[in-house]
Structure 1
Amino acid sequence: MDSLYDRALSEVGQEGKFQIRFDIFYNALLAGLWSLAFNNIILALTITQHNCKLPERPANLSEYLWKLKYIPIVKEATGDNGTKFSACLIFTANNDTEACSIYDYDKTWFETTIPSDNNWVCENELNVVNIFSYSKIGETVGSFVFGWLGDVYGRKPTIVISLAMLIFGRLISVLASSSFVLFTLGCVIASFPSWSVPQGTATISMEISSPKRRANVATLRLVSTSIGLCLTPLFYWWLRSWKPYMIFTTVTLMPCLLFSWKIIESPRWLLVNREYGKCIEKLKVIAKVNNTNLSSNIENDILTSGEDVLASSTKLLGPLALFSGWRLAINTTLQLLLWVCVTLNYTAVLLSSAETSYGNPFLDFAGQSIAEIPGYFVASWLADRVGRRYTGMISTTITTLIWIIYVFRDFSGTEWLQSQWLGTFLVITNRLTITVSYYIIDLLNVELYPTCLRQTGMSLGNLVSGGAAALAPYVLHLGRRFDIRYSSAILIVTTIFCGILTSFFLPETLNVKLPETLEDAQNFGRRNRNYYMSVRVKEETVDSNLPGNIPNTRH
């Protein structure tokens, strides 16, 4: 039987003009602008080609011979005995070598970046790695803090505070870029709210919409953030320098912050927290736009019987409950390992997008970002036809093969392996398959945990995911500064053992009755990974707490 809130929402309209307008302004426009500001730091921290600044070259001497006179030749990090001019050393008058005091940067595409302005290269290159890592740690902690804020103080104040911190943090980084400490502090402040803005608006939308709209809401939010990520490099290409680029992509959020007070608070949240008068007020706002009415009977029921709002409350369980049974502990551990695989792969690919370009780095970054959009739909189609497990196995297997091909590209002189078209194809395909893997792990997080532990399980996944994301910059640094085989080996081994094998041993959740109690979860998948609880789920028996078929979280 429908809850009191469901009956009230049915009266004021679950699919009317209010919901459509909300989605256009917040889950499309705001999500896209937020993505611009949240991800602009990735390109701004690109390390461009560089070497020691040399005296002016005589006209009668080739560039190669001129460099040979001043710059030592060193072994490449590819490990194939290849050599190149050092990017960090220069000959002294005594024919010894010393570190560069002044650098010359390639300005073909980037007029300036943060590393080029501050000389965060060579021995100072670790500054860039640390900034990315500290930001990811900030995201991890922030996901817990703002998740708690959203549940305790409401979705609306969480969104407003998150917007303010993102803008404030980015402006600190721009204004104090000469100080590593202040710049890093700004990055951590900006990353601390994590994905609270798009997740918060999507949560409100799902809580004021019918169940069949929820998948569309999640899809709209994910696609919008990917479009924002795709537009990010195009603005850099236009502005060329990192400061105007960072300012432009950040201040576009200012109108959203100024008018954020107009965002409606979730009536469901207000009702659960016994703010019955405010709940009725928000329901009437929805009804006015949808040209409907909230009946006096429902209004009186809300004021007098608030505990009928949702399902009866359940005992709060801590994170240790996720390991309270053998099968549940295995399922939890497998999911956490899959989080490590997917996040490490995604973060490594994202952070190296501009540096591994085979042509125009801005168009390559945009092309890789746009590949995420079909990735969502491919993942949804495969997940509903071949199952979650097999889709995860397929995507992680393809990702592993791509990393192996990269190794052959680094060590082979075969012409077709070195071709630009193959490099572009591999990068875009890798981004698409990793997006599919991300979809699957988010979906499994929603489906494998019981209702009473679902939020706890997703929070634990965010924690492990954040830890893996913080390690990714160091994996890239290892390959860039020492030997590319090290980072390739780490990604290959991680994807095989934490991706392919983990997906194989997880239980299938396609068309099965999902666990609702702790006891259900402790037995889920115990007998048969494919068909445990093999009762085909009809549409009306789907867990009403699920946010739809498309997941609601993303790192």
Structure 2
Amino acid sequence: MAAEDAAFDKIMEMVGNDGAFQKRFNYIYNAAMVIFGGMSFMNIILALNVPDHWCHVPGREHTNYTLEQWKHLTLPRETDVKGLTTFSKCQMYDVNWTTIQSWDYENWNSTRHHEKLNVLDCDVRDYDKTWYQSTIVSQEDWVCSKDMYQTNTFALNRIGEVIGTFFFGQLGDRFGRRIIFYISVSSIVFGRIATMFTTSYFTWFSIVSIVGSFCAISLFQSPFIIGMEISKPMICTLAYFTLILYIAQADGNPFLNFFIQSAIEAPAFFLANYMANTVGRRWTNSFSFIFASLFCIPTIILANYVEWQMVATCSVVVVKFWLAITFFVINLQAMETYPTCLRQTGLSIGTIGSNIIGIFGPYIVYLGQKFDNRYPIMILFVLCILGSICGLFLPETLHQKLPDSMNEARVFGADQKFWSLPKKAKGEDKNHNLTTDELERLDPLL
């Protein structure tokens, strides 16, 4: 099998691995899948967005007060995760405001008066509709005592990805990429549609969320691996979704935030493509992690200063830019390191490991929402440093003969020097001749 794979690779190099067919495949499947597949895969991020909210206090309809004035009267203050004093989102003053006959705003709004009032948790809330008419969170009131519902849903999606990747990664190598691709599409469509009708029942919502995430990874993996096997490896790309949860909860227009952090991946791809083909996958991966960690620093310092919010937000976007490069390179490296016969299985094992760790991602973001806005970036800074160090010990795959068998994979990279750049071997582009044995093995397939 390994010999047939090697011969097939040589034939592809001889007939051309960057022709019209390969371009159509990559543009239609790989590029389109990032767009349309990403819509079904990522819509849960915006659907679970948490709009600004506060306790609904009856009685304002009997006054001419603005909403801001009514909040000053009826809601206690609290310190948020940025250290700012804001209105409480889950508590209100224990007063029946509908029975008040004589209104003296200055007296009622005095600090002295508020100090005498008891505070209680509210059961009904109002939600800001500046950006969303409704989300799952606002529709089902997943805030305050239920604020973990959103975080748990994100974690359950990652659990679904772990389970699905374990099974479908192996099936892709056994039964082929195409059938797994169609199953993946069907699964994610069914799961996402089912979530629309189960939001009122969190247990069922959790189950269909897991089902909808079973094939989320194989939905992208299958066409990407086909593209790698029939065309130039650098055509293949993967979308990287690091920092999406954190940016989705940032202040301002959530759709614009989502668009910017997604659009930044386009220039990141082109730079990753150039760097990976110039200095190699290993150094590109490591240096990108270093640059990402450096831009975490101004974000940590400025995150809680209102006047520096724009600078802090731009720093987060730059961090996303460099992390997008690392995600592109590490996936390319993984696909090139595993032998052909176990490529999707091997890539799936790596994906399973990353998704198991990724289950903690929503809870890291939750720390920022509940305690301190800087905690997620601090943790990300540490992870980037670790990623930079670990990336240096991966084998370089640029200008290397990629392994076709398990035996070749075991020794791949063992002869590489640590402080070196990849160099193209002389005559590398001309060594396309097939041996007699390779032709005989391919004869039944032709």
Structure 2 CA distance for aligned equivalents of residues 30 and 451 of structure 1: 23
User: Equivalent residue of 1:116, what SS?
Assistant: helix
Q: 2:30 aligns with which of 16, 19, 27?
A: 27
Structure 2 CA distance for aligned equivalents of residues 450 and 119 of structure 1: 49
| Partner of residue 390, structure 2 | 502
| Partner of residue 286, structure 2 | 393
For the 8 Å contact 2:74–2:92, the answer to whether it is kept is yes
Q: CA deviation at 1:475?
A: 0.3
**Mean CA deviation greater in 139-148 or 31-40:** 31-40
Structure 1 CA distance for aligned equivalents of residues 345 and 198 of structure 2: 38
**Mean CA deviation greater in 379-388 or 99-108:** 379-388
Where does 1:446-461 land on structure 2 (aligned, <5 Å)?
A: 446-449=335-338, 455=344, 457-461=346-350
Task: List alignment gaps of at least 5 residues for structure 1.
Answer: 227-342, 545-555
Please provide the CA RMSD for this pair. 3.5
Structure 1 CA distance for aligned equivalents of residues 174 and 416 of structure 2: 39
Q: CA deviation at 1:134?
A: 0.8
Structure 1 CA distance for aligned equivalents of residues 57 and 23 of structure 2: 60
Q: 2:219 aligns with which of 187, 197, 218?
A: 197
| Partner of residue 49, structure 2 | 46
Structure-2 change in CA distance of 1:466 and 1:354 (3 Å): same
Q: 1:471 aligns with which of 326, 336, 360?
A: 360
User: Equivalent residue of 1:109, what SS?
Assistant: coil
Structure 1 CA distance for aligned equivalents of residues 321 and 13 of structure 2: 38
Q: CA deviation at 1:370?
A: 1.2
Task: Name the amino acid aligned to 2:287.
Answer: I
Structure-2 change in CA distance of 1:511 and 1:10 (3 Å): closer
Task: Name the amino acid aligned to 1:503.
Answer: G
Structure-2 change in CA distance of 1:206 and 1:464 (3 Å): closer
Task: Name the amino acid aligned to 1:97.
Answer: V
Q: What is the number of equivalent residue pairs in this alignment? A: 407
| Partner of residue 87, structure 2 | 85
| Partner of residue 319, structure 2 | 430
Structure 2 CA distance for aligned equivalents of residues 509 and 12 of structure 1: 23
Structure 2 CA distance for aligned equivalents of residues 446 and 167 of structure 1: 27
For the 8 Å contact 2:396–2:413, the answer to whether it is kept is no
Q: 1:486 aligns with which of 375, 380, 394?
A: 375
Structure 1 CA distance for aligned equivalents of residues 287 and 341 of structure 2: 31
Task: List alignment gaps of at least 5 residues for structure 2.
Answer: 96-115, 435-446
1:144 equivalent in alignment to 2:157 = no
User: Equivalent residue of 2:216, what SS?
Assistant: coil
Structure 1 CA distance for aligned equivalents of residues 410 and 175 of structure 2: 30
Task: Name the amino acid aligned to 2:375.
Answer: Y
User: Equivalent residue of 1:478, what SS?
Assistant: helix
Q: CA deviation at 1:540?
A: 5.4
Q: CA deviation at 1:520?
A: 6.7
1:536 equivalent in alignment to 2:425 = yes
| Partner of residue 165, structure 1 | 187
Q: 1:71 aligns with which of 46, 69, 75?
A: 75
User: Equivalent residue of 1:353, what SS?
Assistant: helix
Q: CA deviation at 1:132?
A: 0.7
Structure-2 change in CA distance of 1:84 and 1:8 (3 Å): closer
Structure-2 change in CA distance of 1:46 and 1:541 (3 Å): farther
Task: Name the amino acid aligned to 1:85.
Answer: F
Structure-2 change in CA distance of 1:382 and 1:531 (3 Å): same
1:127 equivalent in alignment to 2:149 = yes
Deviations 1:213-245 (A, max 9, x none): x533x25xx5xxx6xxxxxxxxxxxxxxxxxxx
Structure 1 CA distance for aligned equivalents of residues 421 and 303 of structure 2: 45
| Partner of residue 248, structure 2 | 354
Q: CA deviation at 1:206?
A: 4.9
Q: CA deviation at 1:509?
A: 4.3
| Partner of residue 264, structure 2 | 371
**Mean CA deviation greater in 483-492 or 522-531:** 522-531
**Mean CA deviation greater in 54-63 or 133-142:** 54-63
Where does 1:74-473 land on structure 2 (aligned, <5 Å)?
A: 74-78=78-82, 80=83, 82-93=84-95, 95-207=117-229, 209=230, 211-212=231-232, 214-216=233-235, 218-219=236-237, 222=238, 346-347=241-242, 349-357=243-251, 359-412=252-305, 415=307, 417-418=308-309, 420=310, 422-449=311-338, 455=344, 457-473=346-362
Structure 2 CA distance for aligned equivalents of residues 32 and 436 of structure 1: 18
Structure 1 CA distance for aligned equivalents of residues 392 and 128 of structure 2: 46
Task: Name the amino acid aligned to 2:40.
Answer: A
For the 8 Å contact 1:512–1:532, the answer to whether it is kept is no
Deviations 1:479-527 (A, max 9, x none): 111223433332222222x222223444544445556664774573577
User: Equivalent residue of 2:215, what SS?
Assistant: coil
Task: Name the amino acid aligned to 1:83.
Answer: T
For the 8 Å contact 1:50–1:105, the answer to whether it is kept is yes
Structure 2 CA distance for aligned equivalents of residues 492 and 206 of structure 1: 32
For the 8 Å contact 1:50–1:103, the answer to whether it is kept is yes
Q: CA deviation at 1:135?
A: 0.7
Deviations 1:390-441 (A, max 9, x none): 322322122222222122113446x4x33x3x24422332221110111221
Q: TM-score, normalised to structure 2's length?
A: 0.79
For the 8 Å contact 2:269–2:324, the answer to whether it is kept is yes
Q: CA deviation at 1:120?
A: 0.5
Structure 2 CA distance for aligned equivalents of residues 156 and 43 of structure 1: 30
Structure 2 CA distance for aligned equivalents of residues 388 and 12 of structure 1: 26
Q: Percent identity?
A: 35
Structure 2 CA distance for aligned equivalents of residues 85 and 15 of structure 1: 59
Where does 1:516-527 land on structure 2 (aligned, <5 Å)?
A: 518=407, 521-522=410-411, 524-525=413-414
Structure-2 change in CA distance of 1:107 and 1:452 (3 Å): same
Structure-2 change in CA distance of 1:36 and 1:527 (3 Å): closer
Structure-2 change in CA distance of 1:530 and 1:460 (3 Å): farther
Q: CA deviation at 1:443?
A: 2.7
